[in-house]
Structure 1
Amino acid sequence: MVADALAQAVRQQLGLGRLLPLGTEHDGAWVTEHAATAVLRAAAAEVPEVRVTALHVDLLAPDQAAEPAVPAPPTALRPGPLRVAGEFLAAAEQPLPTSAERLRATLYAAATDRLGLVVGAVDLRVTGLLEEARATEATQPPGGARPADGARPANGAPGDAGPAGAEGRPGTRASAELAPAAARPASEATVEGRVAGAVAEVPGVARLAPALGGLTRPVRVEGPRATAEAEAPVAGASAPARHAQVQVAVAAGHRAVEVARAVRDRARAALLAEAPGPVTVAVLVTAVDAADMALRENTGNARSARSAESAADRA
């Protein structure tokens, strides 16, 4: 039983990918690589005559990353400029540098405007032609092999971790995003429950979406479980510090970093309402709903188009 639970936790963590810094070291926010690459892939699908086959996000200069202002989630990257690296197929009828520049601008805009990532570089590599890929796919039986998901980007690092890198497999997604609104707690009898209730009301929060460290605890509070009714600290004594980790999914039409900041402030206010004293909050965005829907729709449209082309060729 313990071994099964450990194996499930490992699979869950691999599916999330890296925990990328969202905003700066002062924001206390991170986003899973799975959620981030879903946004980037959905945006890239809107660029005509290109197809992204591998996408990877990491620190541009790890030795220059800053210390976060709050305790970071386990395995989270320190805040610093990020590097988006990817591989793509392009159509032969337009110059490859033009295709690369359009895709680069789209990925940069999605990462910065829709998410709030601090991006220092977008490196892309063309690995083939769309026409050749389509011809190969047309000769494959349904469910045949598809291009390798784990293709290495230009820096030689592995491709997307887990579901985020699985081109054309929208059903393989981190369980946090499949979880129903295990979101709103049924009871607010605990500090965590009251903080979760406050966070759930923040505009832009689609739901509480626990993924890291177990699927049933979207809010974790470390430190004393003091309540507003608890005995006040002795005069002159410093109040013990408390730290909360909150995991949320961002709703459509909202910028992830701004939602994370609002969640941080609301969670901190809720903890201070319990009792005065030092409070820090780390926010982890585990899903961005609009990107997931767009990714599924674009994948379905691409499959339908390929099926139609194949049928036309056989006719």
Structure 2
Amino acid sequence: MEAFRSIGAYVELFEGEREFIGAAASGRLGSLQRRMKVVYNGIEGSIAHDAFMPGRKALVPAVADSYGFLCANSNAYACALGRHKFHYLSLLSSLGLPTPRTWHYRKETGWAGGHSPTEGLKVIAKSTYESWSVGVTDESIFLADSTSTNRVAAIAERIGQSVTVQEFVAGQEVCVPVLATPELMGTPPVVAVLAKAPLDPEAVMTIDDNLMSGGVTYQALTDQDLVGRLHSLALRAFIALELDAFARIDFRVDESGNPFIFDVGVSPGLSRGSSAFASMSHWGFTHEEFLRAILAASLPASGIRTPSGVSPELHLR
């Protein structure tokens, strides 16, 4: 909140959707004497009741749109799609983008399409509506075998939702934020470095890493050929999923340099420790300038254009 106030914004923090919807429905937010009202949805499943319910991430953008507020997130449809790991990975794969092989398990109906991971394949099981690696533990990675269905069923029961199972890709985890200004820009890719295992290609990020101070840091990717390939893939994924304003495409890059899209962030974190700020800091952005960039990216997504003849990067700053 203080970071946004430092750039001259009036800020209100709502602890959940109900509080925000109530303030909008009562007319209080609409009566605020502000030229523009911008909403950023940072609610995650770890801090809000039922935030992992199907489509829940779409609620705030839908309400913001109905009351005429700008939303510094994607539209409601893209937010719903972008929080269902199996659906968006299946879509990206069908369009020819590289993704790990992926399967889906629901405790009510079993494996989607009757397909389960090939025995002997190393996989990782995740919550379908996951954010912040919620539900991922060191036990989430295993070799598929005859016990896999029972194992995944137990995970689904424990986390209270369907499970998406991915082929595990050993290597670096690389985050690529994307801004639409309205021209699409991929910001510098950054490599996630885990304090517990900084050089281990088999290590995965868990909720504990995200919650621990210094558990995850980010370094600039130096391989410029790989940077170019990741930017191209990230922009293609951004367009394919109909994302707007600001989002993040995450990759696992194997030891041969092959990238695989494995996650999408429809509302990336904005803190000083976030991958998005780490990325833009390599352009020389301060945290305050970074926040201005995120707010500016919401304008063209809402039909407001930057001045003609002004480059997006200069205008954002």
Give the alignment's TM-score, normalised by structure 1: 0.23
The higher-RCO structure (CA 8 Å, 6+ apart) is: 1
